[in-house]
Amino acid sequence: MAPRLIRQQGYCCGDPGYPNISGVYITDDFTMLAISKRILEHPLILVDHRELVREGLSRLINELADISLAAQTGDGLACLRLVEQIQPDVVVCSAQLPGMTGIELMTRLRDMHPSPRTVLVGGQESHDWVNHAVRAGVSGLVMQRDSSNEFLAAITAARDGRLYLSSIANALFSGHSGGATSACLTPRQREILHLYAMGQGTKQIAYGLGLSVKTVATHREQILARLGLRNTTDLIRYAIREGMIEL
């Protein structure tokens, strides 16, 4: 059940420092949420427990004309409730949150229908950690030392259903991977890859798995990006080469 907004607190509508925020609310479970004035074509939820970081990231996000910062919170559980209520296209979250990690939140978001695409900010600068994030289904990964341009590029790619690894994250991921393999895919993505390779179309796969067509199409784009492929024909060739299907 979505949280009930019971009173407004903090800065108010019209605050020049927050031109797109209608107010901060306390829900009936005492979670603080900041709700946007408007929801545009591509709503986004920002999750970070550090208020100063949220303020900085929200200002960057507001530079993107076709993406709306629909809500922000510092709590992973509150994010899950907001996703049910708003159904955003993108969730941007910190790698470390109180009570759960960013990857744990991503995993729970991935099981929701519809499932938002996720951009993870921060984390360990190691191959193992980046590989773990990619396998968990991240749509965008930006490290703390990356530029604001990379942060915005990750959000844009996630909005479009593409995988984006920042220059630092990509170097960590590819430096030890020795070439893209299906190990970089989530179990769901390997299942969808197999179904595409068996000749099923997006609508047929969506119906068979109980997913939306949009979710399956997003998985397809992420599979292509992670394996360095261009189209469904390449997917079939890859599956044959890897012994995933028999001729």
Cα(139)–Cα(214) distance, rounded to whole angstroms?
15
- Which pLDDT tens digit goes with each residue over 89-106? 999 999 988 889 999 998
Longest dimension (CA), the chain: 64
- Which pLDDT tens digit goes with each residue over 203-241? 999 999 999 998 898 888 888 877 777 788 778 777 777
Sequence letter at residue 247? L
The domains of the chain, with CATH numbers, are: 38-177 (3.40.50.2300), 182-241 (1.10.10.10)
- Which pLDDT tens digit goes with each residue over 143-167? 988 899 999 999 998 888 888 888 8
Identify the residue with better confidence: 110 or 10.
110
pTM for the full predicted model: 0.62
58: pLDDT strictly greater than 70: yes
- Across residues 47-59, what is the average pLDDT? 93
88: pLDDT strictly greater than 90: yes
Contacts 24+ apart (CB under 8 A), 16-20: 18/58, 19/62, 20/62, 20/68, 20/69
Q: Which is it for strands 21-27 and 32-36: parallel, antiparallel or unpaired? A: antiparallel
